[in-house]
Structure 1
Amino acid sequence: MIPHNKENQISSVVIKQISLLVIILILAGLICFNLALFIPSVLGAITIYVVCRNYNFYLQEERKWKPWASTLVLMLASLIILILPVYFIVDLLIEKLGNAQAYMEKFNIFVNKIHDFVDKETGINILSKENMTKVQSFAGKYSTSALSGTFNTLTVIMSMYFILYFMFEKPRFFERILASAAPLKRANVSLIGEKMRKLIIANAIGLPVVALGQGIIALIGYFIFGAPSPILLFALTAVASMIPIVGAGIVYVPICIFMIAEGQTGQGIGLGLYCLIVVGLTDNVLRFTLLKKLEDIHPLNTVFGIIMGMNLFGFMGLVFGPILISLTLLLIQVYRNEFSDEEIPELQLSDKDKGEDLENKIDLIV
């Protein structure tokens, strides 16, 4: 008779759980793979939903508007306030940089001019010939890939508003589905909801406002000091200002050197001082007032999020990339809190939220 070792036998409950998880992952993978083109639309719809959520509840539940009326009003408002300014900058960059061959010829002349000037004046060979070729090749490849991910912007926006309409029309029902589908504790679901709200508003509202503010201030300087292609430089400065640490300097510093190399010494120095003082002050004021109130995002999250986001979604990744990285880190924390046997301190939103009842504060669960 063969002994039956029940201690080493895998529980039938565990086998069922693993089998169900495998099936869920396979189906989810198939859905994501076949609907990958709609991922930016879904992310955009969620972003606008979070930004306009309170207004939607106010119009439907307090002002007693019809769902379709509040939905259409908020969709139109978000289109005018949020989408069109971003679309204008993206469309401007596509128009200016769409001709890749002409753009790369101008870029090569620009880089060579700066390199020759610095080498002549300081004797410092900032880039070898081999590195110069790598820089030019990288710029061409990266700009082309970023722009190619943006040509379907109109399709993304149309499908995004199609999804958003059904999210806005029955918001309580939509949130109830999300909450019931999450296999987490109620407090962790509420935590994710509140944290995501702050991250989305900081990235969808805070970063574009900072970028637009710096771009407009820099544009004034470009016109005053006679910089070449000031409108294009405005768009590039606005986009570059979203990158932490280097920020807008990655655009205006080479432009100032280029102007000096072209013989416009006074204008180049003047523009450099203007950007360093005025544009830099604008950046600090906006970041330490607006962004600090919204959500304090770590610079590395933003840097790697922008790189990843632009590879995945084109220019729309400037907003979605940092959100995805922050969400991933948050889910790791939630996993440890949910399943680890270690003594882990309770996850908290911020110091100002301590002592408050998280579930009463957040009405994600309906």
Structure 2
Amino acid sequence: MMNKDKQISSIAIKQISLLVIILVLAGLICSNLALFIPSVLGAITIYVVCRKYNFYLQEERKWKPSLAAFALMLASLIVLILPIYFIADLIIDKLGNAQEYMAKFNVFLDKIHGYIYSKTSFDILSQDNMNKLKSSVGKFSTSAVSGTFNTLTVIMSMYFILYFMLEKPRLFERILTTSAPLKRSNVSLLGEKLRKLIMANAIGIPVVAIGQGIVSLIGYLIFGAPGAVLLFALTAAASVIPVVGTAIVYVPVCIFMIAEGNTAQGIGLAIYCVVVVGLTDNLLRFTLLKKLENIHPLNTVFGIIMGMNLFGFMGLIFGPILISFTLLLIQVYRNEFSDEETPPDLELPENKDLKNKLI
């Protein structure tokens, strides 16, 4: 006869059964509505950015909820979505004629390879690697064009979901708070950390990208770089890549200009980009991003890779958020179920104040 102490209690069986049912239903919902996952993530992102202004308009200015929601949706479209979509659409438009683009890109690549080989006798790109690079760029341009409709669909459904979040924000937040199977302190902690992560990614990354893109565009126009507008879009997109960043765009352009015989302009552009564009990058990252949230570069790298695979261009923002949020959930799990002392960066502000008073 089994010892009663070793028997699984009926309460534990009910909890496990209910958890299994919830996970199965959640899996069914996510698998069948996977198309709308980027829309939901986008709606939550914009909601967090607009949350303070939404409460101000509705509760202090006494605006009608629907009017406040539409006003904030329009503002977010102009400030957040249109600049990102403009850059993406500009790249897609320029790469739209794949055959003509690839012909120009092949000439561009061959010119750089030939110049470096003639000066250094170093075969930086073997013929096999050059063919692979050309093939990869061709596939990217084709997929970018085909993804235009999907991006528009995501944006439309995102704003449809966002409207109901903004119209009744207290109800939306109460549903999330009561549904979370965590202590109230951990729910507050999770919300605060998530807010900082979203602000850093939704505000910080686009501002840094557009800022570097504009500064580099000025240099491209001054030194006569070919296709300055396209290079502006590519530089802005490349700025989200840590370590390499914008150099992945302007270095080949400078080499190409020198190979074409425009030595002074090529060297001048290289100096401009290293000094001015690099200074702009450091200035924005160490002022704006440090104030919002300090995100580890590896989070950004792997987040962008994952996000682009899952969500396309929108993944530039959602990918790093998902990586950071997953790590945050692991920390919250330890805080919820571990007896260890809570790490200082995970303590709530009121708990820190209390500890300081006791000391």
TM-score category (smaller protein) = over 0.9
Q: Which of residues 87, 90, 93 is equivalent to 1:89?
A: 87
Q: Which of residues 277, 300, 314 is equivalent to 1:316?
A: 314
**Aligned position for 2:121:** 123
1:242 aligns with 2:240: yes
Note the C-alpha offset of 1:349: 5.0
Does structure 1 conserve the Cα–Cα contact (< 8 Å) formed by 2:308 and 2:316?
Answer: yes
Does structure 2 conserve the Cα–Cα contact (< 8 Å) formed by 1:104 and 1:140?
Answer: yes
Change (3 A) 1:339 1:271: same
Q: Which of residues 18, 21, 39 is equivalent to 1:23?
A: 21
Matches within 5 A, 1:132-171: 132-171=130-169
Does structure 2 conserve the Cα–Cα contact (< 8 Å) formed by 1:150 and 1:315?
Answer: no
Q: Deviations over 1:116-136 (max 9, x none)?
A: 111110111112222222222
**Aligned position for 2:276:** 278
Q: Which of residues 282, 286, 295 is equivalent to 1:288?
A: 286
Note the C-alpha offset of 1:98: 2.1
Distance 1:28 1:217 in 2: 46
TM-score scaled to structure 1, two decimals? 0.92
Distance 1:74 1:325 in 2: 27
Note the C-alpha offset of 1:356: 4.4
Distance 2:163 2:296 in 1: 33
SS in structure 2 at match of 1:276: helix
Tell which deviates more after alignment, 102-111 or 249-258: 102-111
**AA paired with 1:223?**
L
Does structure 2 conserve the Cα–Cα contact (< 8 Å) formed by 1:207 and 1:242?
Answer: yes
Q: Which of residues 342, 345, 351 is equivalent to 1:348?
A: 345
Q: Which of residues 113, 117, 138 is equivalent to 2:111?
A: 113
Note the C-alpha offset of 1:350: 8.4
Does structure 1 conserve the Cα–Cα contact (< 8 Å) formed by 2:304 and 2:315?
Answer: yes
1:47 aligns with 2:53: no
Note the C-alpha offset of 1:6: 2.9
**Aligned position for 1:254:** 252
Distance 1:352 1:15 in 2: 37
Does structure 1 conserve the Cα–Cα contact (< 8 Å) formed by 2:96 and 2:141?
Answer: no
What is the aligned-residue identity percentage? 75
Distance 2:50 2:57 in 1: 11
**Aligned position for 2:357:** none
Q: Deviations over 1:301-325 (max 9, x none)?
A: 0011111111111111111110000
Change (3 A) 1:192 1:125: same
Note the C-alpha offset of 1:354: 7.5
Unmatched 5+ stretches in structure 2: 355-359
Distance 1:23 1:145 in 2: 38
Does structure 1 conserve the Cα–Cα contact (< 8 Å) formed by 2:258 and 2:266?
Answer: yes
Does structure 2 conserve the Cα–Cα contact (< 8 Å) formed by 1:149 and 1:313?
Answer: no
TM-score scaled to structure 2, two decimals? 0.94
Q: Deviations over 1:158-198 (max 9, x none)?
A: 11111111101110010000000000111111111011111
**AA paired with 2:299?**
N
**Aligned position for 1:62:** 60
Change (3 A) 1:147 1:20: farther
Tell which deviates more after alignment, 79-88 or 193-202: 79-88
Distance 1:133 1:344 in 2: 55
SS in structure 2 at match of 1:152: helix
Distance 2:190 2:11 in 1: 29
Note the C-alpha offset of 1:15: 1.9
Change (3 A) 1:42 1:215: same
SS in structure 1 at match of 2:352: coil
**Aligned position for 2:230:** 232
Change (3 A) 1:334 1:350: closer
Distance 2:250 2:320 in 1: 24
Q: Deviations over 1:87-132 (max 9, x none)?
A: 1111111111123333233222222221111111011111222222
Q: Deviations over 1:315-346 (max 9, x none)?
A: 11111110000000000111111123x51424
Does structure 1 conserve the Cα–Cα contact (< 8 Å) formed by 2:54 and 2:69?
Answer: yes
**Aligned position for 1:362:** none
**AA paired with 2:329?**
L
Change (3 A) 1:203 1:173: same
Change (3 A) 1:62 1:312: same
**AA paired with 1:177?**
I
Does structure 1 conserve the Cα–Cα contact (< 8 Å) formed by 2:92 and 2:141?
Answer: no
Unmatched 5+ stretches in structure 1: 358-366
Distance 2:145 2:312 in 1: 6
Does structure 2 conserve the Cα–Cα contact (< 8 Å) formed by 1:113 and 1:261?
Answer: yes
Note the C-alpha offset of 1:207: 0.9
Change (3 A) 1:14 1:349: closer
Alignment length (residue pairs): 354
Does structure 2 conserve the Cα–Cα contact (< 8 Å) formed by 1:146 and 1:310?
Answer: no
Change (3 A) 1:356 1:167: farther
**AA paired with 1:355?**
K
